[in-house]
Structure 1
Amino acid sequence: MFEGFTRHRIATDGAEIHTLVGGEGPPLLLLHGFPQCHALWNRVAPRLAERFTVVLTDLRGYGQSSKPPGDSAHETYCKRANARDQVAVMAALGFDRFRLAGHDRGARVAHRLVLDHPGRVERVAFLDVVPTLEVFARIDQRMATAYYHWFFLIQPNHLAERLIGSDPDFYLGQVLGSIGSSADIFEPEAMEAYRTAFRDPATVHAMCEDYRAAAGIDLEHDREDRAAGRKVECPALFLWGRNSAVGRLYDDPLGIWRGYAPAIEGHVMPAGHFIPEEAPEETARALLDFFSG
C-alpha cells in the first residue's frame, strides 16, 4: 500500500505523529477514524495523489503514532489537542494552508480544526458523521443500539480496556463488520495494520480516551462555539453512507450539518460506514471534484 509515499515521524506538543506524504500539487490532509489508522485511505489516496500532495497521518494514540497516557480530564485526547497535532504536522511539512478530509473520528478532529484554526483550511470534507453535539442530543433507543460503543468505551476504571483486551481481534472484527459494511471489504494489508495496532493495550486505552473526551471536554468546547456563534467558514462537503447509522437513523443529516457549516454541500454514498474502503471510486471522484474547486 502507498507505493511512492514517504514516511515521517513528526513531533508535536505531547505526541509523535506517524505521517505519510505522496503526490504533487496543493496539500491535502486525510484523517482516519476508529478503530483504524491511515490505511483506511489505501484505495483513495493514490488517486488523490495524482492531483494533490496527500498527507496521511495516524491520530495520536492510533496506528503507529505515539500513545501518551490519558489524564483525568481526558484533555490529552480531546479533539483540540488532536487538531493541534495536525496543524503542527502540516507546518513541519511546510504547509500553512491546506485542504482537509476526515472520516469518523478524523471528521470530528477536522471539525474542531476548522473552528480553532479557520485560516489554515481552504476546504473541508466530513465523512459519515454528524456533529458530536447532535449525536448526544438526538440519542434514542435506535441510536443507542447502533452507537453502543460510544457508551461502552467511556466507562471508567479501564472497564472497556480490560474487556477488549481479552480478545482484541474479536472486538475489532465486530466493529468493522457491524456498521453497515461487510468485514470482507478491507484489504488484507490494511486489516493487518488494524489488528497490529489494536493488539497493543496502549492503543485500546487511547481509543477509549478519545471517546471519553468526546463525552466530556469536547462537548464543553462545542458548546462554547455554539454560544459564540462560531461555525465552519470555508466551503465544506459532507458524504454519508446509505447503509451506515448516519444514513439509516437521521432523516436529514445534511440539514443537520447546515446548522454548523452554512457553505456545505453533500450527498449519500453507496456504502456503509467505511466509505473510503467500500466505495473508493465514488469517494475519490467526490473528493477530487470538491477539492479541485
Structure 2
Amino acid sequence: MSFEGFQLSQIDLKPLGGEVMLRVRHGGSGPPLLLLHGYPQTHMMWAKVATDLAADFTVVAPDLRGYGKSSKPPTSPDHDHDHETSSKRAMARDAVALMAHFGFDRFDLAGHDRGGRVAYRLALDHPDAVRRVSILDIIPTGEVWARADRRFALGYWHWSFLAQPHPWPETLIGGDPEAFFFRSQFRNILTGFEAYEDYRKAVHNPAVVHAMCEDYRAGATYDRLLDEDDMKAGRKIACPVQVLWGAKGAVGAWYDVLEVWSAWANDLRGEAIDSGHFIPEEKPAETIAALRRFFAEGR
C-alpha cells in the first residue's frame, strides 16, 4: 500500500467551526491539493497516486463525513427531512475547514464519484477557495436526475434504492453488505484493488451503511434541488475545470461529458482515460499524468 511518508490523523473540525471529525492522510510539500474519494470507498482509493503527487504537492486525503473512519453526522428520525447534514454542501464545508486546519485558504481539488460531487459544489459555494478543480467520472447530480431514463434505472439502480426511506435499504444491505457493495453492484471489481480491505471493513459498520444511504438521500433531494437552482440561474464554476471519465464506463457511454459540463464551466477541458469507473485505481499512471498536467497550469 502506498501513501509513503504520509501521516494518518483524526482531525476534529469543531474548533474551526466544523461539525465532524475526519480521518485524514496528508503528506508531501508544495502547493496544496485536496483529494476526495467516491462511494463505497474511503480515502484509500488514492493510494496508488498520492505518493507520486506528493512529490509536487502537499496532498490531503480525508474520508468524507459518514464514510470510513470519519464521524457520522446527525440525522433526523423523520425520513422526510432535507438531508442537509449528508449533503455535498455540508461535505464541502468540511473540506474548507480541513484545509484551513492545515493552513490553506486556497487549494487545488480533485474528486472522484461522490467526491467529484463535493468538489463541484465546493467550487460553486466557495469560489475563492478553489484554484483549479478536477472532476472524475461524473456529470452533475441535477443533470443525472433530469436525464434519468430506462438505461439509468437499470444501470445505476442503487441511486434510487439507497435513497429509499430509512430503514429499508439499511435493513436489506445489513444481511450481507459485501454481497451488496462488492459482488452484486460492482461485480467484484473493487475486490481486486489494494484498498479493498479498508472498504470491506467500512461496509460492515452499520453506521457507515446508514451514512452512505443518507448521502444518496441527500443526492435525490437537497443536492438535486441546489443543482436545479444553479442550472436555472446559469451559475458557473469560476475556476478552471478538468473533467476525466472512464472510456469503458457508463458516464462516457451515456453522456457527451464535455457538452454537459460546458453549461457549468467556461474554462473547461477534459479527456477519457482508458479505464472503467474507478480511474485512479485502474489507471494510476494516467491519472497522475492528467492531474499533474492540469494542476501545473498557471503556476
TM-score range, shorter chain: over 0.9
CA distance in 2, matches of 1:145, 1:176: 11
CA distance in 1, matches of 2:41, 2:191: 15
1:155-234 correspondence runs (5 A)? 155-174=164-183, 177-178=186-187, 182-183=189-190, 185-187=192-194, 190-234=195-239
Secondary structure at the counterpart of residue 124 of structure 1: strand
Letter of the 2:7 counterpart: T
The answer (yes or no) to whether the contact 1:77–1:213 under 8 Å persists in 2 is yes
**What displacement does 1:185 show?**
4.1
Q: 1:248 to 1:198 in 2, by over 3 A?
A: same
CA distance in 1, matches of 2:159, 2:4: 35
CA distance in 1, matches of 2:189, 2:24: 28
Q: 1:166 to 1:79 in 2, by over 3 A?
A: same
RMSD over aligned CA atoms reads: 1.3
**What displacement does 1:19 show?**
1.1
**Matching residue within 74, 87, 92 for 1:78:** 87
**What displacement does 1:256 show?**
0.4
Q: 1:236 to 1:175 in 2, by over 3 A?
A: farther
The answer (yes or no) to whether the contact 1:75–1:81 under 8 Å persists in 2 is yes
Letter of the 1:28 counterpart: L
CA distance in 2, matches of 1:146, 1:280: 25
**What displacement does 1:253 show?**
1.0
CA distance in 1, matches of 2:273, 2:183: 22
Counterpart of 1:7 in structure 2 is 8
1:292 aligns with 2:296: yes
Counterpart of 2:48 in structure 1 is 43
Counterpart of 2:35 in structure 1 is 30
**What displacement does 1:183 show?**
4.0
Counterpart of 2:265 in structure 1 is 261
Letter of the 1:166 counterpart: G
1:153 aligns with 2:158: no
Counterpart of 1:120 in structure 2 is 129
The answer (yes or no) to whether the contact 1:23–1:50 under 8 Å persists in 2 is yes
**Structure 1 range deviating more: 88-97 or 137-146:** 137-146
The answer (yes or no) to whether the contact 1:176–1:183 under 8 Å persists in 2 is no
The answer (yes or no) to whether the contact 2:145–2:224 under 8 Å persists in 1 is no
1:231-250 correspondence runs (5 A)? 231-250=236-255
Q: 1:258 to 1:18 in 2, by over 3 A?
A: same
CA distance in 2, matches of 1:160, 1:119: 38
Secondary structure at the counterpart of residue 118 of structure 1: coil
Counterpart of 1:138 in structure 2 is 147
Counterpart of 1:103 in structure 2 is 112
Gap regions ≥5 residues in structure 2? none
Q: What percent of counterpart residues are identical?
A: 54
**Structure 1 range deviating more: 233-242 or 3-12:** 3-12
Secondary structure at the counterpart of residue 61 of structure 1: coil
What is the number of equivalent residue pairs in this alignment? 288
1:273 aligns with 2:273: no
CA distance in 2, matches of 1:3, 1:43: 10
CA distance in 2, matches of 1:284, 1:120: 23
Gap regions ≥5 residues in structure 1? none
CA distance in 1, matches of 2:190, 2:11: 32
CA distance in 2, matches of 1:131, 1:206: 21
1:92 aligns with 2:101: yes
**What displacement does 1:68 show?**
2.3
The answer (yes or no) to whether the contact 2:140–2:227 under 8 Å persists in 1 is no
